[in-house]
Amino acid sequence: MEGDALRTLRALKRAQAFLDAGITTVKDLGNSGQYLDVALKKAIREGIADGPRIIASGPILSSSGGQLTGLLKKYEWMADEEYRIIKGIEDARLAVKEHINFGVDLIKICADNSPNNTSLSFDEMKAIVETAHRYNKKVTAHATSSKAIMEAIDAGVDGIEHGYSLTDSAAKIMARKGIYFVPTNLTGDMYMRFTGVAKTEAEKKLEGQHKILMMAIKDRVKIVAGSDHYTELGTPRGDALKNVLLAYYEAGMKPLDIITSCTKTAGEFLYLPRKLGVIEKDAVSDIIAVEGDLENDFIHAIFQVKFIMKNGKIYKNIN
């Protein structure tokens, strides 16, 4: 509603905040208008703006209405502007090809349209996956209900985002098929800010998220860090993204496993194994250094970023 210019200026500011926090690569999964994420990716790559490397999806592939609730008929254009609404199997294949031509790096779908009630059909999701894989692009799915998670898994997606209703049986299938899990957990403090609920209610709600994460780890599902951070919560934008890492820690995930989830494993998920998220010969030269002990004082040390290098260029160096 506010236009592409303002959205782009905000994005530039946020991108710089992410890099300042030591985040050198982000996966942007839609709600960025008509390929504004792809445009920003190109601007950063060309050196016009500073920010993290962007792995962009373009508009989310979704069923009618996208995730915009309560739209009247005359406002359906809003969903069309923010999403690529799929109208059948052949249209699903066409949408993937459109996205690839516009320069996306991966495909994002809504296996369910929460908070809306409709969703892509299984056959539409399967057609999307088949077409994307033909062009060597991965597909990751917004999936919150157990039904949506299983349908996305059966359709052959490469990643499950959120997975708030992930079951043990589904997690075991994901592990066997090599499907990545991006749990967008929140800490108790951030959940209270986001929802306004009391501490006891927040703890009860988050207990379920924590159990799902640890179950997935036990089942050997590959975990990729993802914040789903899209709203103002009163903290610096770059540091706010790290809230998900603190949430993983609160759930019981080990610090070095958390670091792996946003480096090595993330690089593998993004089709860049042994190139991104590792320090070895011929890899992308992204390195950060923190002051402190990540293993024994993770909550403090993760915010003490003193050195940032992205693609061989130093952006911060505090002695």
Please state at what angle helix 188-195 crosses helix 243-251, rounded to 10 degrees: 120
Any domain includes 10: no
Any domain includes 27: no
**What pLDDT is attached to residue 229?**
84
Look up tokens 């008509």; give the residue.
34
CATH number at residue 299: 3.20.20.140
Residue 267: domain span? 58-317
Cβ–Cβ < 8 Å for 122, 11: no
C-alpha closest to that of 104 among 131, 138, 64: 138
Strands 83-85 and 60-62: parallel
Any domain includes 271: yes
Any domain includes 227: yes
- Phi, psi of 7, rounded to the nearest 5 degrees: -60, -40
Any domain includes 26: no
Total structural domains within the chain = 1
C-alpha closest to that of 172 among 150, 155, 143: 150
Between CA 137 and CA 130 the distance in angstroms is 10
Which two three-digit tokens encode residue 93?
A: 């294949």
C-alpha closest to that of 259 among 295, 210, 230, 292: 295
Over its length of 319 residues, how does the chain's per-residue pLDDT go in tens digits? 889 999 999 999 999 999 999 999 999 999 999 999 999 999 999 999 999 999 999 999 999 999 998 889 999 999 999 999 999 999 999 999 999 999 999 999 999 998 898 899 999 999 999 999 999 999 999 999 999 999 999 999 999 999 999 999 999 999 999 999 999 998 888 888 878 888 888 888 899 999 999 999 999 999 999 999 887 777 788 888 999 999 999 999 999 999 999 999 999 999 889 999 999 999 999 999 999 999 999 999 999 999 999 999 999 999 8
Q: What is the pTM of this model?
A: 0.96
Between CA 314 and CA 288 the distance in angstroms is 10
**What pLDDT is attached to residue 31?**
92
Any domain includes 221: yes
Other beta carbons within 10 Å of 89: 15
Bridge partners of 139, per DSSP, are: 107
Between CA 23 and CA 16 the distance in angstroms is 10
Any domain includes 184: yes
